[in-house]
């Protein structure tokens, strides 16, 4: 709680071209918010998820394997449902103004993208893409 997950998602929404008139908030009570943009953004917050059966009822496969980007807060609650190929971002609260990000690429193409980032020397613009 309070690590900046929703703030990160607001930045992601801006990068995906979600119109500023959509106020990005955490869907704690609705479980999912959908934001149209250049690339659609689907934002899950599973903090209040009581039962994984709810994932079936939400039609999670359409979000996970459809068009757009799906971001999941509290994803550890549904590990068996997650796609094999994914990007995992863990945020650790260090202090009021400091966070530590751990980004892990699982499967193709995410593992390769993370390898490119790790090998990037910073002497030229990063050329990797999703």
Task: Kindly list the structural domains of the chain, giving each domain's residue range(s) and its CATH number in brackets, ordered by start.
Answer: 1-77 (3.40.50.300), 84-130 (no CATH)
- Which is more confidently placed, 46 or 2? 46
Say what the pLDDT of residue 125 is: 64
Q: Give the per-residue pLDDT at 37.
A: 92
The 10s digit of each residue's pLDDT in 95-116 is: 988 999 899 999 989 998 888 8
Torsion angle of alpha carbons 45, 51, 57, 62, nearest 10°? 50
pLDDT in tens, 13-58: 999 999 877 788 888 788 999 999 999 999 999 998 988 899 999 9
**Least confident among 57-61, 86-90, 123-127:** 123-127
Tokens of 49: 């998820």
For residue range 50-84, list pLDDT tens digits in order. Answer: 888 999 999 999 999 999 999 999 999 999 999 99
Cα gap 28→20, rounded to integer Å: 21
How many Å is the Cα radius of gyration of the chain?
15
Among 1, 4, 3, 9, residue whose Cα is nearest residue 71: 9
Name residue, tokens 């899950």: 44
Pairing of strands 41-45, 32-35: antiparallel
């Amino acid at each position: 709680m309070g690590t900046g997950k929703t703030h990160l998602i607001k930045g992601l929404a801006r990068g995906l071209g979600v119109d500023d008139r959509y106020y990005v908030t955490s869907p704690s009570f609705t479980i999912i918010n959908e934001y149209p943009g250049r690339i659609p953004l689907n934002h899950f917050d599973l903090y209040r998820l009581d039962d994984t059966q709810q994932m079936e009822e939400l039609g999670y496969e359409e979000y996970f394997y459809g068009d757009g980007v799906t971001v999941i807060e509290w994803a550890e609650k549904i590990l068996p449902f997650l796609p094999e190929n994914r990007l995992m971002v863990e945020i650790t609260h260090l202090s009021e103004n400091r966070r530590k990000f751990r980004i892990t690429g699982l499967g193709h193409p995410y593992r390769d993208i993370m390898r490119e980032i790790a090998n990037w020397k910073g002497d030229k613009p990063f050329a990797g893409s999703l």
